[in-house]
Structure 1
Amino acid sequence: MAIAVGVITLIILMATTLKSQASSFGGGEVGWVLAILAVLIESVIILFIICKLVLAKLQEDIFIAVLKDQGGWQAHFIAPTFMESMLCCFTPSLVLQIITLPLNVFPVVGTIAYLSINAVSCGWDLMAMYYDASGVASSAQRALVVGKGCSKMMPQKILSNPLFEFGAICLLLELVPVIGPTFFCLGNACGAALWAVDLEMEKKRGGLKGFGIGVGESI
């Protein structure tokens, strides 16, 4: 599906915007090269958005199924509605990922920058399925993940945040061509569920109070 959508998107953009973009870049060989590069980036961004929207509900279903299968789902947990699953896609994190996605055009350095910028928010978005189901308010999540005045987003603190490590791995997997935005995107939901199961088991053993958000703090 991802390949088909990507090809169709690329064809449409090539047919409708390539010539105008080449002209806007001044025409000539350089203009056409830049236009083709711009169209490729635009098609990737559009495919990225479509995959996020289409797979949102499926991610939630996988997360809940794994959580229940592994014994992590609690009686007081709240399953989101279809509309809530869709609305959860429209987060500042998604906007930031879209804006910074072109950084990956630059090998290694660009990807490292992209991961550094988006890792925590990506990890938070995935684990928010657990926090939301547990009834943790978004303001409480934000306070523990970001901190007052973004104090917990400083380099010396962000690198020790488990959400940073988890989010970086998830983002890196999603950057794999074709299977990244689809297969690995769903796999990341499974990974988030398994982490949530570990947190629930640790809570039952008395080793964790709250939800382990951010850098080991609790609610």
Structure 2
Amino acid sequence: MLVLGESYAVIMFVSKAFFLGRAQDQLFNAVFRQEGVNLVYVEPKGKSRSFAQSVYKGVSSRLSKEGMLRYIVSLPLNLVPMVGTVLFLLYNGSKAGPTFHTRYFQAKGMLPATRQAFVDKRKGAYTAFGAATLGLNLVPVVGPLFTLTSTVGAALWACDIEKKEREPK
């Protein structure tokens, strides 16, 4: 598991920088359109970016220094048979789960305090989602594919949340 974790970090960094970041955003928006949820984040006009700036924005928005440090420091948990891997997945999953709703939070225009309250209210669900996603992403070769399927799952979840909020009470 330790070697898989290390290879996952390298593969995800490269794939998110050049492919997955933009694909995830497009998938998220496509699921919203398909589900009939009218909530699309639009970047402010007049902001043109070079390729390097686009890559940096895609990576920095999904891979924080704190997150990478937490991931690397917690990798040795995998050395503890069975229990260590579960703890590793839960610990990192609790932080990774909400990142799959970044696009949703942007579309809703949530401020950091509001976003944190929203996540805290659903902490168990976000931890379970993040742990499952991280576990699937550790599968060699197809891990990036699971990132895309997890993005679709997160978008469907966000659509369900949005539809429940719009229901008359």
TM-score band w.r.t. shorter chain? 0.7 to 0.9
Name the counterpart of 1:206.
168
CA RMSD of aligned residues (A): 2.9
Distance 1:195 1:124 in 2: 12
Distance 2:5 2:41 in 1: 38
Matches within 5 A, 1:2-151: 43-54=7-18, 55-74=20-39, 77-80=40-43, 83=54, 84-91=57-64, 92-145=66-119
| Residues 60 and 85 in structure 1, CA contact (< 8 A), matched pair in contact too | no
| Residues 13 and 59 in structure 2, CA contact (< 8 A), matched pair in contact too | no
Q: Which amino acid aligns with 2:10?
A: I
| Higher helix fraction (1 or 2) | 2
1:177 to partner: Cα distance: 1.7
| Residues 124 and 163 in structure 1, CA contact (< 8 A), matched pair in contact too | yes
- Equivalent in 151, 154, 162 of residue 125 of structure 2: 162
1:179 equivalent to 2:147? Answer no
Aligned residues: 156
1:107 to partner: Cα distance: 4.5
Helix, strand or coil: the match of 2:73? Answer: helix
Classify 1:166/1:40 alpha carbon distance in 2 versus 1 (closer, same or farther; 3 Å).
Answer: closer
| Residues 123 and 167 in structure 1, CA contact (< 8 A), matched pair in contact too | yes
Distance 1:195 1:78 in 2: 17
1:172 to partner: Cα distance: 1.5
Classify 1:107/1:71 alpha carbon distance in 2 versus 1 (closer, same or farther; 3 Å).
Answer: farther
Distance 2:17 2:24 in 1: 10
Distance 2:15 2:153 in 1: 18
Larger Rg: 1
Relative CO higher for 1 or 2, CA cutoff 8 Å, sep ≥ 6? 2
Distance 2:74 2:102 in 1: 22
Classify 1:78/1:124 alpha carbon distance in 2 versus 1 (closer, same or farther; 3 Å).
Answer: same
* Runs of 5+ unmatched residues, structure 1: 1-37, 147-151, 208-219
| Residues 80 and 133 in structure 1, CA contact (< 8 A), matched pair in contact too | no
Classify 1:168/1:43 alpha carbon distance in 2 versus 1 (closer, same or farther; 3 Å).
Answer: closer
Name the counterpart of 1:20.
none
Q: Which amino acid aligns with 2:91?
A: I
Distance 1:198 1:39 in 2: 37
Q: Which amino acid aligns with 1:205?
A: E
Q: TM-score, normalised by structure 2?
A: 0.75
1:206 to partner: Cα distance: 3.2
- Equivalent in 148, 155, 158 of residue 196 of structure 1: 158
Classify 1:95/1:133 alpha carbon distance in 2 versus 1 (closer, same or farther; 3 Å).
Answer: farther
Distance 1:39 1:119 in 2: 18
Q: Deviations over 1:71-104 (max 9, x none)?
A: 1233xx3235884444312323344234324533
